[in-house]
Structure 1
Amino acid sequence: MSGFTNKLVAVTGASGFVGRNLVKRLRLDGAKVLELSRASGFDILSDQANLEGVTHVFHIAGLTGIPHAWKEPVAFFETNALGTMRILEQCRLANCPMTFLSAYIYGAPQFLPITEQHPVVANNPYGFSKRVAEDACTFYVQNYGLRCVSLRLFNTYGPGQSSDFLLPFIVEQVLDDSREAIEVQDLEPRRDYVFVDDVVDAIVSAQSAAPGSVFNIGSGVTYSVEEVIQLTLRAAGRQKPYRAMGEKRKNEVNCVQADISALQQATGWRPRTSLADGIRKLIENAGRP
């Protein structure tokens, strides 16, 4: 149970992967949810949100996907950075607290695990747009007194996620009997994967933190792409060869691991779903809308 029972809250990006999972959780907790998304006809760059009576805004809307960001850096900046500025201003005028979700802003790690004090050196257009957006949040906290918390997500996954992302892409290939082998760009990169239910729990729990707080949300454990494939094959009871296509992404980061102790100490939150259990849930839900 959260502190939003019988309260009206708004979620931007409510039709997206994290957004719709958050909406589901908030409604289970008894909140009334105003959904602001492209699916509901809301344009973050031109529309004014009606925040009358809204007690909290969860700002999740934005363009995602690093390969797409390299192709359309201006669109990503406009939506993710300028769009966040617009939501911040609307929250300021309505005196409404806000939670902002960020990701991929650290760039190549200078040390592991990555704490919130790690230098922020975004090395792709998506991360850059999110860094500017997070800076805007900090500015509004420091200069307007806006109550805002920023959450830095690591690699979120779960049922219903697009196969544009690695884990559902691997599950799809493992379960596809017409495919003789699993093909990925690179077997070596290590990432910190966190299940979407744990992310939603973290988002809700972070509301008890002080305004201006910044927290990592991850699992604290890192896995290579090859290890993810092996876990998926084991969970599915399949045997298939796998191979790298030798297509390394621009500015690829070799290893990412979150230090999640700050959020744990501030709120008591901790991830509950191991990667093996999360992959089993992906397999169980494969093919469902």
Structure 2
Amino acid sequence: MSDFSPQQGGLAVGDRVVVTGASGFLGRHLVGRLRAAGVEVATPSRGEGFDLLNDQLPLDGATHVFHLAAETGVPDSWQDPARFHLVNTHGTVRVLDQCRRAGCAMTYVGAYIYGVPQHLPIDETHPVNANNPYAYSKWMGEQACEWYADMYSMGVTAIRLFNTYGPGQSNRFLIPRIVEQVIDPTVERIELMDLAPRRDYLYVDDAVDALLAARGLPGYRLYNVGSGVSHSISDVLESAMRQAGIRKEVVDLQQVRPNEIPDVRADCSRIGRECGWRPRFSLDEGIERMLEEVRK
């Protein structure tokens, strides 16, 4: 269970917030946490007919907006970069402008935009290398956040999330796909393209903690949010088999992806100093929680 209380970040029981992208993986966890704490949450979503590019957010009585809605997926972004820019950049500008007029603060959930690291760990001053249309669109949304915060004296926090994982995530992502193969009795051996790349994997409850801890601050704030530890794909697989108590043959196809990033590790000291946040879950603990959900 989380240690989040309704008063954290200035929230109180009965407060009203808006979460865009609430039907997504992170959005569902955030909304669940807020509602469990007695916070009223409005969840305009595409599934309910809400159009980020044309409709108005339900901001009456709201004190804060968590803006998670976005077009996602690097491969898809190469096929339609203009659509990604329209939704992720212009859509963010629309949310910012509505927040400005309603007097709401905003939290913007960004993405990893550093490319191949020049140094590890990666802090917020590391040069940006938005090397795909998705990253570029999220970076432009981030720039809009800083501009609105400066020009209109708004409270806007931008969060650069690293590789978030947890229960309920699509198996299009690495860790759920590995866990699924480990526990599936019809899968006799696990084949992976490349076991070497290392990533900073952040458990979803830690990501939600960071969003809540960093809200309600004055001016523009920018924070990296990750575990601060990197793990290889081999590490992830070994953890999943160990936690599940299952051993299977593993085949490393040694197919290195073009423009592969060898290692990623976040420096999260800024959000630690300014908001008191730190990750609580190790990779083993996060994967064990995923397995518990599957067993249920």
Answer yes or no: same fold by TM over 0.5: yes
**Any conservation in 2 of the 1:4–1:26 contact (CA below 8 Å)?**
no
Aligned-partner Cα distance in 1 for 2:68–2:255: 30
Aligned-partner Cα distance in 1 for 2:156–2:264: 26
Q: CA deviation at 1:210?
A: 3.6
Structure 1 gaps, min length 5: none
Q: Which residue of 2 aligns with 1:27?
A: 35
**Any conservation in 2 of the 1:4–1:29 contact (CA below 8 Å)?**
no
Give 1:176's match in structure 2, choosing from 184, 209, 225: 184
Q: CA deviation at 1:44?
A: 0.8
**Any conservation in 1 of the 2:229–2:265 contact (CA below 8 Å)?**
yes
**Any conservation in 2 of the 1:4–1:30 contact (CA below 8 Å)?**
no
How many correspondences in the alignment?
A: 288
Aligned-partner Cα distance in 2 for 1:283–1:81: 36
Q: Assess, with a 3 A threshold, how the Cα gap between structure 1 residues 162 and 40 changes in structure 2: closer, same or farther.
A: same
Q: Does 1:9 align with 2:17?
A: yes
Q: CA deviation at 1:208?
A: 4.8
**Any conservation in 1 of the 2:155–2:217 contact (CA below 8 Å)?**
no
Aligned-partner Cα distance in 2 for 1:163–1:12: 22
Q: Does 1:212 align with 2:223?
A: no
Q: Deviations over 1:190-232 (max 9, x none)?
A: 0001111111011000025442110111100000011111111
**Any conservation in 1 of the 2:188–2:249 contact (CA below 8 Å)?**
yes
Q: CA deviation at 1:246?
A: 4.1
Aligned-partner Cα distance in 2 for 1:138–1:175: 45
Q: Does 1:91 align with 2:102?
A: no
Aligned-partner Cα distance in 1 for 2:180–2:15: 39
Secondary structure of the corresponding residue to residue 277 of structure 2: coil
Q: CA deviation at 1:48?
A: 1.4
**Any conservation in 2 of the 1:235–1:276 contact (CA below 8 Å)?**
yes
**Any conservation in 1 of the 2:157–2:215 contact (CA below 8 Å)?**
yes
- Using the aligned pairs only, state the percent identity: 50
TM-score normalised per structure 2: 0.93
**Any conservation in 2 of the 1:59–1:98 contact (CA below 8 Å)?**
yes
Q: Deviations over 1:56-99 (max 9, x none)?
A: 00000012222222233222222111111111111111121100
- Listed as ranges, the matches of 1:184-199 within 5 Å are 184-199=192-207
Aligned-partner Cα distance in 1 for 2:201–2:17: 28
Q: Assess, with a 3 A threshold, how the Cα gap between structure 1 residues 108 and 232 changes in structure 2: closer, same or farther.
A: same
**Any conservation in 1 of the 2:108–2:157 contact (CA below 8 Å)?**
yes
Q: Does 1:276 align with 2:277?
A: no
Q: Assess, with a 3 A threshold, how the Cα gap between structure 1 residues 76 and 146 changes in structure 2: closer, same or farther.
A: same
**Any conservation in 2 of the 1:99–1:149 contact (CA below 8 Å)?**
yes
Q: CA deviation at 1:249?
A: 3.4
Q: Which residue of 2 aligns with 1:164?
A: 172
TM-score normalised per structure 1: 0.96
Q: 2:67 corresponds to which letter in structure 1?
A: H
Secondary structure of the corresponding residue to residue 197 of structure 1: helix
**Any conservation in 2 of the 1:103–1:154 contact (CA below 8 Å)?**
yes
Q: Which residue of 2 aligns with 1:258?
A: 266
Aligned-partner Cα distance in 1 for 2:162–2:88: 17
Q: CA RMSD for the aligned pairs?
A: 1.4
Q: Deviations over 1:234-289 (max 9, x none)?
A: 1111111222334433422111000011111111111111100101111121276x
Q: 1:153 corresponds to which letter in structure 2?
A: L
